[in-house]
Amino acid sequence: MGIARPAREKSRLKPEVLRNLILSLCSNQFLTVNELAYLLKRDSGGLRKNHIKKLVEMGKLEPRYPNTPSHKNQAYKTVQHTESNN
């Protein structure tokens, strides 16, 4: 997947760069942490702890099962903000 290329080619990226890649990958579909880890060539535990959790707390990612954080099929999608909220 072309979006993930920077992460696949470099072992170290700035956190904000990696988080933007996660948001891009999750913009049109729910992806699990394992799917993101595969696409980005990263450890799933590190992604969950250092990036996914923070993006959810910031309101930028939404979990598929918000009432069950440890759901076995938990996946994440980028929150789409609408202009009608102005």
Asked if residue 85 is part of any domain, the answer here is no
Tokens coding 11: 């072992």
Q: Is residue 86 part of a domain?
A: no
Q: Is the residue at 48 inside a domain?
A: yes
User: Is residue 41 domain-resident?
Assistant: yes
**Which whole-number Å values give the CA distances from 3 to 23, 52, 70, 82, in the listed order?**
10, 17, 27, 24
Q: In this predicted model, what pLDDT tens digit does every residue of 49-72 receive, in sequence order?
A: 999 999 999 999 999 999 999 999
**Sign of the four-CA dihedral 55, 67, 71, 26:** negative
Q: Which CATH number is 12's domain given?
A: 1.10.10.10
For residue 41, the enclosing domain spans: 2-79
Domain count of the fold of the chain: 1
**Chain segment 5-53, per-residue pLDDT in tens:** 655 555 678 899 999 999 999 999 999 999 999 999 999 999 999 999 9
> Which residue shows structure tokens 């913009």?
27
Cβ contacts of residue 11 below 8 Å, gap of 6+?
none
Residue 43 counted as domain residue: yes
